[in-house]
């Protein structure tokens, strides 16, 4: 019970901080704002997170896990058809760009905000992006690509490009743009 309340408060602070970090940027959000929005004392925040950087790392780790959870659910629904799986991924990713408060990929944004390669945020982001390419490569292999690593890299560029190009695309444009591009890239990779 105590344990539950403890983790409940920790999760509450993390959820509020995550929303603020994503909406306004990590450096733009101070701990004073976080505790005010969460309605908790600053002491409580620092009881569960040793520093702000620890809170940032927890935010990015959480986003990473949620992303792969969604990915996995879509993958499981298309376990028998790699091509259908890829298109399904492009669909839910593309649909995110049209969400009202969309503000890019948290990992990419974190890399833009923190320049030190040793910063935990950078390392979590790097792992996240490497994992994305790894998963795309397994799909490319199942698609019988001639050079699956290259196809995976190209698909990753498209996806990362979509993440940072929402402001350049019309609301309903992203999904067909991505899916058509994937179709053409795949066609060129299976001779």
Partner DNA sequence: GCACCGATACAGAACTGTCTGTTTCCATCT
Partner DNA sequence: AGATGGAAACAGACAGTTCTGTATCGGTGC
Interaction site with DNA (CB under 7 A): 1-2, 5-6, 9, 29-33, 39-44, 46-47, 51-53
Q: Which is nearer to DNA, 32 or 65 (CB)?
A: 32
3-state secondary structure 30-94: CHHHHHHHHCCCHHHHHHHCCCHHHHHHHHHHHHHHHHHHHHHHHHHHCCCCHHHHHHHHHHHHH
Q: Which stretch binds a second copy (CB under 8 A): 7-15, 41-49, 50-58, 107-115?
A: 107-115
Q: Which is nearer to DNA, 10 or 129 (CB)?
A: 10
Least distance (Å) between residue 25 CB and DNA? 11
Residue 187, token pair as written in the block: 């066609």
Q: Which stretch binds a second copy (CB under 8 A): 31-39, 46-54, 84-92, 100-108?
A: 100-108
Sequence-ordered list of residues with C-beta below 8 angstroms from that of 35, at least 6 positions apart, any chain: 13, 41, 42, 44, 45
Site membership for a second copy, residue 99 (CB under 8 A) = no
In whole angstroms, give the CA distance from residue 8 to residue 15. 10
Count other C-beta atoms under 10 Å from residue 166's C-beta: 18
Least distance (Å) between residue 8 CB and a second copy? 28
Among positions 11, 27, 30, 171, the unique one binding a second copy when judged by CB under 8 A: 27
Q: Which residue has the tokens 């490319």?
A: 140
39 binds, among a second copy, DNA, none (CB under 5 to 8 A by kind): DNA
Tell which positions 139-168 bind a second copy, by CB under 8 A.
150, 153-154, 156-165, 167-168
């Amino acid at each position: 019970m105590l344990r539950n309340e403890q983790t409940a408060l920790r999760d509450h602070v993390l959820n509020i901080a995550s929303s603020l970090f994503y909406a306004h940027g990590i450096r733009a959000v101070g701990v004073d704002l976080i505790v005010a929005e969460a309605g908790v004392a600053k002491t409580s925040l620092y009881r569960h997170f040793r520093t702000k950087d620890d809170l940032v790392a927890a935010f990015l780790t959480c986003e990473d896990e949620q992303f792969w959870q969604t990915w996995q659910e879509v993958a499981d629904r298309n376990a028998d058809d790699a091509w259908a799986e890829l298109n399904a991924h492009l669909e839910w990713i593309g649909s995110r760009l049209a969400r009202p408060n969309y503000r890019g990929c948290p990992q990419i944004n974190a890399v833009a905000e923190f320049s030190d390669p040793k910063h935990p945020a950078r390392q979590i982001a790097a792992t996240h992006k490497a994992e994305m390419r790894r998963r795309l490569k397994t799909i490319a292999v199942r698609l019988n690509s001639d050079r699956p690593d290259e196809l995976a890299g190209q698909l990753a560029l498209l996806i990362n490009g979509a993440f940072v190009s929402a402001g350049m695309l019309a609301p309903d444009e992203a999904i067909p743009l991505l899916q058509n591009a994937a179709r053409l890239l795949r066609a060129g990779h299976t001779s």
